[in-house]
């Protein structure tokens, strides 16, 4: 709707304005997200590397202020910024199912946790060889306990206890 009024000058009666007289070709604008303030603290649990950014947390002690009356941020979830092992990794909080997309949710200072490296198991097997005058051994290393879908390669350096023919014991001197 529209209307013109006299304002302080009293001149409205001298003009007319009809809907067809309004050029409204530039009729879109952006509604920016509203910033919230954060106070309080949350806690998050350390975990062993599992290939995901998920984290167990309790953010019930955190208060976000500036939310408009009747709005809800929705269901909170916390996550690491990446899935890699590391100490004191920052955790971010996001919300789904509410009005959270309309707000800038600030990061929570001090909300961190650690992802520790996952322990692997390894099985090595040494291959037979024909006498060649040295103690080098060809060892295959199979890694176990990897996160589903992930693979790693390995390099193994091993040597037999003697260069002479016979049943020999191989020992791994280095691996990566």
The closest alpha carbon to 44, from 93, 113, 108, 105, belongs to 113
Check if the beta carbon of residue 101 is closer than 8 Å to that of residue 36: no
The reported pLDDT for the residue numbered 68 is: 95
pTM recorded for the entire structure: 0.70
The reported pLDDT for the residue numbered 151 is: 92
Low-confidence ranges of the chain (pLDDT < 50): none
Dihedral (Cα; 69, 75, 76, 82), 10-degree rounding? -130
CA angle 114, 151, 140 (to 5 degrees): 120
The reported pLDDT for the residue numbered 89 is: 96
Element (H or E) spanning 137, and its range?
A: strand 136-137
The reported pLDDT for the residue numbered 110 is: 85
The reported pLDDT for the residue numbered 82 is: 96
Sheet of 156-160: strand order equals: 136-137, 156-160, 170-175
How far is Cα of residue 53 from the mean position of the Cα atoms in its chain?
5
């Amino acid at each position: 709707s529209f209307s013109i009024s006299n304002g302080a000058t009293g001149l409205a009666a001298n003009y007319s304005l009809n809907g067809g007289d309004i050029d409204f070709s530039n009729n879109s604008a952006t509604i920016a997200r509203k910033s919230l303030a954060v106070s309080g603290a949350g806690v998050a649990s350390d975990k062993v590397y599992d290939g995901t950014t998920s984290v167990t947390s309790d953010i019930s002690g955190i208060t976000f202020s500036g939310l408009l009356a009747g709005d809800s941020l929705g269901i909170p979830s916390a996550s690491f910024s990446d899935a890699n092992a590391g100490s004191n990794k920052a955790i971010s909080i996001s919300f789904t199912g509410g009005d959270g997309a309309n707000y800038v949710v600030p990061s929570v200072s001090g909300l961190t946790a650690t992802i520790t490296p996952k322990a692997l198991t390894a099985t090595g097997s040494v291959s037979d060889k024909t006498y060649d005058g040295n103690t080098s051994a060809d060892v295959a290393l199979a890694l176990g306990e990897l996160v589903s879908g992930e693979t790693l390669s390995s390099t193994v350096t091993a040597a037999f206890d003697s260069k002479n023919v016979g049943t020999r014991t191989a020992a791994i001197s280095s691996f990566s």
